[in-house]
Amino acid sequence: MTELSKITPSQLSRLAVVYVRQSTNAQVECNRESTERQYQLRTFAAQLGWPAAAIRVIDQDLGLSGSGLSTRSGFAELAAAVALGHVGIVLALEVSRLARNNADWYRLLDLCGTTDTLIGDADGLYHPGLFNDRLVLGLKGTMSEAELHVLRARLNGGIRHKAARGELRRGLPTGLVWGEADGEVRVHPHAGVTDAIRAVLERFAEMGSARRLWLWFRSAALPFPTQIPGGAEIQWVTPSYTNIHQVLTNPVYAGAYVYGKMRQQRYIDADGEVRKRLKRLPPDQWGVLIHDHHPGFIDWATFEANQMRLSANTHPTPNASVGALREGSALLQGIALCGHCARKLRVAYSGRSTVASYYCPGDTLANGRGQACVRVGGARIQQAVTAAILAAVQPAALQAAVEAAEGLDNAEQAALAQWQQQLEQARYQAQLAQRRYQSVDPDNRLVARGLEAAWEAAWEAALQSVQSAEQEVQRRQQHPQQALSAAEREAILSLANDLQAVWSAPSTTDRDRKELLRALLEEVIVTHDSEAHRVHLTLRWHGGLISDIAVALPRRAATVRTDEDTIALIRRLAVHYPDAIIAGVLNRQQRTTATGLPFTVNRVSNLRTHWGIPCFTPPTEPPVGEPLTIREAAAILGVAPSTLHRQLNDGLIAGEQVTPGAPWRIVITDALRARFTGQAPAGYVPMVDAMRLLGVSRQTVLQRVKRGELDAIHVSQGNRKGLRIKVQNPTLNLFDDPASAGG
């Protein structure tokens, strides 16, 4: 079977797709011959019989690898067109252009075999649906994938072998340059650049924090040197936090040659795609680490100490690191450990108090309830640790005071030196721009017109930099930091004999105290002896020494409790009344809290919560036979609450009180309902008429009603609401004997 015989009219009626790809951008720019050969496949498609309008070129994947780790939009478009049956033939210069991994390759083969699509390269035409062609294409895909592996292994092997000797030239950080010999690294010849790097490393030993060092650079308005990888010129910019942090964490500044600090990992993302990422490795897993490879700014021991200090400044992880210094009065923050379970103690502040307390986050189960291992106040503990620290540093206090007096102006001198070097560099740049501007040949106007404008602008910018640097140097020279006088030096030296005054001075911040504690102590183990009512402190100093301190805890005052009868009364009242009414009852009975204060709603609520007394909950429906409040009873009887209060005071109806001063409560009965009606029945007269007919006072009538000698009802309708009295024998005098009157 000839190759042209594989082409059918059905395939000619569809598209001919030319797939163009180069692995890297460098190949696209430099290896143009290969790219041109791939584009010439359009002519080959026309020779096979496809019209020009049906030939399509997909070149979106130029500069992308075919290993399957890169997202190739062009290949995805090709696979989609083949799956839809729009493609009759796929042309590529070779199989490796379509895919370098078998997963993508065999997926394309399956789609082409299903949709009757041909695949063509420089060797011929293939139909994936035919066994022999499928076998050849499969071998080509396997060889393409193996070729990529072999090429990569050869390149990586050569790179690792050269890096193992320290001769592989890679990008160096600012302040270091490559020499002429193999693997030779030199310090940058520019003194300003090296001084700026040394200032970062030296000042970090004093400040101990990358952020504080960065803020010092910003406050002093010092520029920082940066260099584009592969570039020769140094750019002076305002330093960022990243610039400072990179200087502190780069091992090249410690004279070490390092290769393989990161490792490439492959993973599957949320969409199921294979991705790759770089993982930073610890120093013990670096591929190459050669100490003393070149002159450095610091030694390796100092570099490791800086890394430990930086790692300790990060946010603390549980039981892992002491963490960064933070504000607050907790001097033992991050270094205090529980003596029972060895967990790191946490800090807590209660209310508005500025004194910290320490507690253990781990709880042990005892008797079915959780109990904290350690929970103690920090005042006495911190005082004991402070006394031990001051006693330890007392012998070296005089030497420290002398060094502090001599080093007060180091920062100002370092900043002035930096600006003087900046002024020198600015003057050099201005002179260089002037020489370039003056060296333009005036006769060659075609060149002069373009260069004069650019170099004149550069000259003006350089002159402005010189002026700014001169002004800053003059300002610092005119207002230098005053040298210490003899009296000031004597005062500083006298403080060595009174370290407690220095420690307690308002100018000494909590951060300063914590830095001193961490510089001397590695950890403080706190063990609480509840029976002896004391805390045992174990101080572990840097260097291995251990000190033991016993601290007595303050005794708690006797607990003040509310009277038992008051609690019992609140318990009875809470069944019937809310907290506001209970507070009023207690105050009317002249009861007070445990501290002698009158009761309020909040104090009653706190007492209920403490003693577990339920809150009053009004019922949804009035209970039958249950005592009701005056307001509830008035609503049921259809009268005003004041009416019931009057009748209770007059003794006409019955009521009860839980305790003297508590609100009245009334039981609704049929007899009580009968005493309240809308209209007066026959024979019932108002109180005034009853008084006139009986010839007695109102109080006498009410007393007769209470004794049951007269019937009374309350009328709640009409113009004359109120009591109605039933007078059976109006001529009877109340002072006469009823027995004789009846006879």
pLDDT digits (tens, 9 = 90+) for 693-712: 888 888 888 878 777 778 78
Looking at residue 558, its amino acid is A
The question of whether 23 is a catalytic residue gets the answer yes
- % of the chain at pLDDT higher than 90: 9
Cβ–Cβ under 8 Å, residues 316 and 339: no
Helix (H, G, I), strand (E, B) or coil at 435: helix
Looking at residue 279, its amino acid is K
Cβ–Cβ under 8 Å, residues 534 and 574: no
pLDDT digit string, tens, across residues 140-199: 888 888 887 888 888 888 888 888 888 888 888 888 888 888 888 988 888 888 888 888
Average pLDDT over residues 628-651: 77
CA dihedral for 689, 695, 698, 703, sign (positive or negative): negative
**Higher model confidence: residue 174 or residue 499?**
174
Tokens of 305: 């100490």
* Cross-strand partners of 517: none
Cα(582)–Cα(659) distance, rounded to whole angstroms? Answer: 11
Q: Tell me which CATH code domain 4-161 carries.
A: 3.40.50.1390
Q: DSSP secondary structure string, 285-337?
A: G-SEEETTSS--SS-HHHHHHHHHHHHHTSPPPTTT------SSS-TTTTTEE
Cα(203)–Cα(410) distance, rounded to whole angstroms? Answer: 10
pLDDT interval class at 470 (50, 70, 90): low
Whole-number pLDDT of residue 91: 92
Whole-number pLDDT of residue 415: 59
* The CA-based dihedral angle spanning residues 245, 248, 251, 254, taken in that order and rounded to the nearest 10 degrees: 160
Closest to 551 measured CA to CA, from 359, 345, 381 = 381
Cα(661)–Cα(367) distance, rounded to whole angstroms? Answer: 45
Closest to 530 measured CA to CA, from 646, 660, 366 = 366
In 417-565, the DSSP E strands lie at 521-529, 534-541, 546-552
φ/ψ of 358, rounded to 5, equals -120, 140
Closest to 49 measured CA to CA, from 80, 21, 12, 15 = 12
**Higher model confidence: residue 362 or residue 88?**
88
User: Parallel, antiparallel, or unpaired for β 684-686 and 676-677?
Assistant: unpaired
Cβ–Cβ under 8 Å, residues 411 and 188: no
Cβ–Cβ under 8 Å, residues 286 and 258: yes
Neighbours of 21 (CB within 10 A): 27
Cβ–Cβ under 8 Å, residues 198 and 297: yes
Most confident of 440-449, 570-579, 664-673: 570-579
What is the average pLDDT value for the chain, to the nearest integer? 78
φ/ψ of 92, rounded to 5, equals -145, 155
Most confident of 174-183, 243-252, 714-723: 243-252
pLDDT score of 238 more than 50: yes
Task: From residue 28, give the alpha-carbon distance in Å to each of 43, 66, 230, 393, 666.
Answer: 21, 14, 21, 68, 100
- % of the chain at pLDDT higher than 70: 76
Whole-number pLDDT of residue 231: 61
Average pLDDT over residues 266-291: 84
Cα(132)–Cα(125) distance, rounded to whole angstroms? Answer: 12
Cβ–Cβ under 8 Å, residues 650 and 684: no
* The CA-based dihedral angle spanning residues 63, 65, 70, 73, taken in that order and rounded to the nearest 10 degrees: 60
Tokens of 480: 């230098």
**Higher model confidence: residue 116 or residue 419?**
116
Cβ–Cβ under 8 Å, residues 66 and 97: yes
pLDDT interval class at 479 (50, 70, 90): low
pLDDT digit string, tens, across residues 328-346: 778 888 788 888 777 888 8
Average pLDDT over residues 422-438: 62
- DSSP H helices, 618-680, are 630-637, 641-650, 670-674
Give me the CATH topology for the region 176-312: Hect, E3 ligase catalytic domain fold (3.90.1750)
Average pLDDT over residues 514-525: 82
Whole-number pLDDT of residue 407: 53
Whether this model's pTM surpasses 0.85: no
Looking at residue 632, its amino acid is E
pLDDT interval class at 634 (50, 70, 90): confident
Whole-number pLDDT of residue 433: 61
CB-based contacts of 201, cutoff 8 Å, min separation 6: 247, 248, 253, 297, 298, 302, 306
**Higher model confidence: residue 465 or residue 612?**
612
- DSSP H helices, 479-533, are 486-494, 499-504, 510-520
Whole-number pLDDT of residue 423: 60
Closest to 641 measured CA to CA, from 664, 625, 623 = 664
Half-sphere exposure of 565 (CA within 13 A, CB side): 5
Whole-number pLDDT of residue 359: 83
Helix (H, G, I), strand (E, B) or coil at 444: coil
Cα(185)–Cα(179) distance, rounded to whole angstroms? Answer: 5
pLDDT interval class at 742 (50, 70, 90): very low
Whole-number pLDDT of residue 554: 76
Of 5, 13, 23, 311, the catalytic one is 23
pLDDT interval class at 474 (50, 70, 90): low
Tokens of 723: 């009591």
Closest to 76 measured CA to CA, from 36, 122, 17, 130 = 17
Cα(407)–Cα(401) distance, rounded to whole angstroms? Answer: 10
User: Parallel, antiparallel, or unpaired for β 363-366 and 262-268?
Assistant: unpaired
Cα(97)–Cα(119) distance, rounded to whole angstroms? Answer: 12
φ/ψ of 155, rounded to 5, equals -65, -45
Cβ–Cβ under 8 Å, residues 95 and 137: yes
Tokens of 351: 């209310």
Tokens of 470: 């001169």
